[in-house]
Amino acid sequence: MRATNVSFRYRRGDPWVLSDASLDLAPGSVAEITGPNGTGKSTLLRLLAGLLRPVRGRIEERPAVIGYAPERFPSAQPFTVAAYLRHMAAVRRVAVPEELTARLGMDHLLGQKLPDLSKGSAHKVGLAQALAGEPGLLILDEPFAGLDATARAELSVIVAEVAARGGIVVASDHQGDLRSVPGVTRYEVRDGKIAEAVPIVVDDPLTTLTIKLPQSKADALAARLRAEGHEVS
């Protein structure tokens, strides 16, 4: 996926949010979008997701299946959580994300109405709908904000799995949780441009762990560990 010389402003006469900005993302990459507040990080994410169109420049080779989770989930909607997820799955023509609701720890929320949810619970709903259908492009705006520790850890695993199967993940993350995903590359938005930084290296020594478990569960565990970037032999 490639953004080339993209410029964007919301109205004619307004300052340019992005000006002649470019970004190249390969399949399987995980990109963290950083930068001071107000520099256009959320605008860039919406452009990449196809929710906004560049005033100048072009965005090409966008994957067909796109998942997008905004920073603030619009919970003022007349649905229960389960009905909303079914509705969004039908709109996007993908499967209802039943496994994801369990992994994000939100099965107990399925019968609740969206306006009654806490901010953290509503955020999980936004993540679940974005992750439905195995997106080839996953756009997440502050995905870890408001999540409990268990959900944050699981979301990092899910992001790694999306990248492992060739998907592109682009996210802003003030919490720093995204950096636990192997091979994350940082991009900074500043003065209307996008600057690439070096891949993040987690300074953590390696160790060897031996696990004994039923043979029927070995393949699934090995696949999950590999998705997290671990070496399995």
Q: Is residue 181 part of a domain?
A: yes
Residue 222 falls within a domain, yes or no? no
pLDDT for position 201: 57
pLDDT at position 185 over 70: yes
Percent of the chain with pLDDT over 70: 93
Domain count, the chain: 1
User: Which letter does DSSP use for residue 109 in this model?
Assistant: G
In a domain, residue 147? The reply is yes
What is the per-residue pLDDT across 50-85, written as a single tens digit (0 to 9) for each? 999 999 999 999 999 999 999 999 999 999 999 999
228 falls within a domain: no
Q: What φ, ψ does residue 30 adopt, rounded to 5°?
A: -125, 120
Is 227 inside a domain boundary?
no
How many whole angstroms separate alpha carbon 172 and alpha carbon 44? 10
Can you give the CATH number for the domain in which 30 is found?
A: 3.40.50.300
Residue 231 lies in a domain: no
Residue 215 belongs to some domain of the structure: no
- Our CA dihedral for 43, 44, 46, 52, rounded to 10 degrees, sits at 80
The boundaries of the domain holding residue 183 are: 2-207
Confidence of residue 97 (pLDDT cuts 50, 70, 90): confident
Residue 115 confidence class, pLDDT cut points 50, 70, 90? very high
Percent of the chain with pLDDT over 90: 70
pLDDT-derived band at 104 (thresholds 50, 70, 90) equals very high
Least trusted range by pLDDT, from 15-19, 50-54, 154-158, 176-180 = 176-180
Report the pLDDT value the prediction gives residue 113, as an integer from 0 to 100: 96
Q: What is residue 229's predicted lDDT score, i.e. its pLDDT? A: 60
pLDDT of residue 179: 86
Q: Is residue 155 in a domain?
A: yes
Q: Are 154 and 90 in contact (CB under 8 A)?
A: no
Contact 64, 137 (CB under 8 A): no
- pLDDT tens, 15-42? 999 999 999 999 999 999 998 888 999 9
pLDDT category of residue 198 using cuts at 50, 70 and 90: low
Q: Is-contact 71 123, C-beta < 8 A?
A: no
205-232 confidence digits (pLDDT tens) = 667 788 888 888 887 787 667 656 677 7
pLDDT of residue 62: 96
- Is pTM, for the whole model, over 0.85? no
